[in-house]
Structure 1
Amino acid sequence: MRIGLDYRPATSYPNSGIGRQTLALEQALRANPDVQLQLFSVAPEDHLIRRKAHCPRWGAPLAGVHRLPLRLKFEAGFLPGSLREAGVDTYIANFNMGLPLARKPEGMKYILQLHDLFQLTLTNAHGSQLKARVYGYTDKLSIGWSVKVADRIWVPSQYTADEVAKLFPQARDKTRVLPNLVLPYTDALADISDLQLPPRYWLVVGTREPRKNIPWFVAAWQQARQQNPEVPELVLVGAREHLQVAQQHLHGMHFVSGISDAQLHALYAGASRLWQPSYAEGFGLPVIEALAQGTPVAVANGSALDEITPPDSPRFSPTDTGALVELMKELALDHPVDSAPLKAWADGYGEQAYRQRFDELLGELR
């Protein structure tokens, strides 16, 4: 099989969730002896990615991959002809949209990797109301087109598969679950003493999107600390400005941003517990990353977090403040934790399981 992979997320945002899954796809494709891989991307005119990927002659800023004019220029102007010239028979687009905006050549197959549908179902963070309206409309058209023309849709959870079936009933039979790959962190953990964090803390990763539910969670944490001084201090990986002004300088709360992978995994390892209060998640990467470090987790129910979290981990409603306060008070005292089962659960999202499922799905297309 001669397979083309949309490499734009890995080129522009390699450390993002979608960028990491693009790299996982690349590695799985290169490991399959029946695959000849071709990469397709946009990049500045002097970028090194041009040495290994098919790129338009025109340059593009790395931060502009989601800009509509640039996307149209790539997906409608460059991609259709480039796929034909490269002799690609299967093309994978992997950031919720991005399949070529042209009539599909006879014999070519399209795969859409759809991480979630929150661009269509939720209010997301944008710079202005105008941007929100424009992106809302164009995302609906782009995702709708890619869902329509895809031969297969790969999603990271059954939750997302069910969401696809709700919004696009005609796509139910071509949707398959491919859980995300979460590689164990094998490098040395960073020394994070310069962050001046308390010796005991709870951790939350991600603050920007409203669905992360952080203001609500912080309010519950503040109540719990007022009622029980044993409730640990809270470390949030994200920007202070994503919270309400009244919450930005609470006693016992710490913000960390712009950190490396080594620092992030050191934060996981040092935390007493990771909390994931999102009311909507298509997967939940921080949960698996924390478990891989042997750190226990507590998650909100009602989304993909239900699937990816060990069954005996604490769960809570993402809307019931009183119940969350009581749970925080209950978990305030550390109890001995056997990290081995947590790490074993995380291994279920490792390379071996991912490659096996990936090869099964790829085999469907032969």
Structure 2
Amino acid sequence: RVHCPRWGAPLQSVHRLPGRLRFEGGFLPGALREAGVEIHICNFNMGLPLGAKPHGMRYVLQLHDLFQLTHINHHGSRLKEKVYRTSDQLSIGHSIKVADRIWTPSQYTADEVVKRFPGAKDKVRVLPNLVSGFVGEPADISELNLPARYWLAVGTREPRKNIPWLVGAWQAARQRSQQVPELVLVGAREHLPEPLQSLAGLHFLSDLTDAQLHAVYQHAERLWQPSYAEGFGLPVIEALSVGTSVAVASGSALDEITPAQSPRFSPTDTQALTGLMVSLASQAPEDSQQMKAWAGRYADEAYRERLYALLEELR
């Protein structure tokens, strides 16, 4: 059974404060009581109900990361950035305080939560994200006109994704070796500085279907994930699930979710990354079956076992 408020909200505005306060303070507490919910799981980083918690009800907060508080995010203006930073601090702080358990997708995020909110230490548990993999066959992507050999990066919007830096290192590597493949970015061209938007060998893709994305991952020679901060790193597991090799930046949750044999690099050392790219361009990818086996750690059965154990803990 679905319980919904009587009012609607545009999809792009559900995060705005008036609507959130109306939902979290005006609708949610009563709806949970009426539904007889015993365990309420909020997967929004924040948003647990305002007001007194009903007797016998347990709250779980799924906290993916704290980047809303610790990193610069796109909000359109400095005023919006300040308003959202303040409201996020209050809302996340409230949800952490009232939660009976806090589930994070990585030990990295768990450590960051405890560092910023020491009082939550005994409530934090790690529940890695579920990555079921792609369903069905990959699409025919011949109409995308991708090169025969290419490297891939997924996600370009947030500064922490570090994509302009990756593109700069890739450009330098291309100047050093003709073996370095072309680069495909899944994201918007305008997320890159203008001088980088029209580089030879750089391709942009957006609005892909799941079947197309499946094929783009599968045909890639390697996925590069240069983020200097990640709470999990979904593209890494998606690439591994189809047997595609990866190379990741060190220093965040990417260290946890990536096979030990996969290349790693500092997210700030351009010269070292350029050298790594030149080296990997002429090497065979890692064994695809090993990559798929690693991705299985985050598939349905493994996730189900972890989830059941955490739910049992709340009895």
TM-score class normalised by the smaller sequence: over 0.9
2:193 to 232, 244, 254: 244
- 1:343 has 2:286 as partner: no
Pairing 1:66–2:15 present: yes
Matching residue of 1:171: 120
Confirm whether residue 353 of structure 1 aligns to residue 302 of structure 2.
yes
Shift of 1:263: 0.8
Letter in 1 for 2:41: I
Q: Which runs of 5+ in 2 are unaligned?
A: none
Of residues 243, 250, 268 in structure 2, which corresponds to 1:301? 250
Q: How does 1:1-366 map to 2 (within 5 A)?
A: 52-335=1-284, 337-366=286-315
Q: Which whole-Å deviations, capped at 9, do the CAs of 1:277-302 have from their partners, x for residues lacking one? A: 00000000000000011000000000
| 1:243 Cα deviation after fit | 0.4
Alpha-carbon distance in structure 2 between the residues aligned to 1:59 and 1:225: 51
Structure 1 runs (4+) greater than 2 angstroms displaced: none
Instruction: Please state how far the C-alpha of 1:116 moved relative to its aligned partner.
Output: 0.4
2: CA distance between counterparts of 1:135 and 1:265?
35
Question: What is the CA-CA distance between 1:104 and the residue it aligns to?
Answer: 1.0
| Contact residue 153 and residue 223 of structure 2 kept, 8 A | yes
Structure 1 Cα separation of the partners of residues 118 and 61 of structure 2? 16
1:337 Cα deviation from its structure 2 partner: 3.8
**Structure 1 letter corresponding to 2:102:** I
The residue type paired with residue 50 of structure 2 is L
Contact 1:75 1:98 in 2 (8 A): yes
- What is the number of residues matched between the two proteins? 315
Distance of 2:283 and 2:201 partners within structure 1: 18
Between the aligned partners of 2:289 and 2:135, the Cα distance in structure 1 is 16
Give the superposition deviation at 1:186: 2.7
Using structure 2 for the length normalisation, give the TM-score.
Answer: 0.98
Amino acid aligned to 1:242: H
**Alignment partner of 1:203: what SS?**
strand
Q: Which amino acid aligns with 1:281?
A: E
Instruction: Write the distance in 1 (CA, Å) between the matches of 2:241 and 2:39.
Output: 34
Name whichever of 122-131 and 283-292 sits farther off.
122-131
How far the C-alpha of 1:265 sits from its partner, in A, is: 1.1
Distance across 2 between alignment mates of 1:359 and 1:339: 30
Could you tell me which residue of structure 2 aligns to residue 49 of structure 1? none
Amino acid at match of 1:206: G
Partner Cα distance (1:310, 1:148) in 2? 35
Q: Secondary structure at the match of 2:200?
A: coil
Distance in 2 (CA, whole Å) between partners of 1:203 and 1:283 is: 18
Q: What are the Cα deviations for residues 41-60 of structure 1, in whole angstroms up to 9, with x where unaligned?
A: xxxxxxxxxxx420011122
Partner of residue 4, structure 1: none
Match of 1:22 in 2: none
How far apart are the structure 2 equivalents of 1:150 and 1:268?
Answer: 38
- What is the CA–CA distance in structure 2 between the aligned matches of 1:337 and 1:306, rounded to whole Å? 17
Aligned-residue RMSD, C-alpha = 0.9
CA drift at 1:336: 5.3
Residues 152 and 288 of structure 1, relative CA distance in 2, 3 Å threshold: same
Distance in 2, Cα, partners of 1:111 & 1:336: 41
Contact 2:221 2:285 in 1 (8 A): no
Whether the aligned pair in 2 keeps the contact of 1:272 and 1:334 (CA below 8 Å) is: no
- Range that drifts further, 123-132 or 286-295: 123-132
Q: CA–CA distance in 1 between the matches of 2:313 and 2:93?
A: 23
d(CA) in 1 for partners of 2:211, 2:13: 27
SS in 2 for 1:78: helix
Paired with 2:166 and 2:113, the residues of 1 have a C-alpha distance of 28
Structure 2 residue matching 1:298: 3-state secondary structure: strand
Contact 2:245 2:285 in 1 (8 A): no
Q: Aligned partner of 2:191: which letter?
A: H
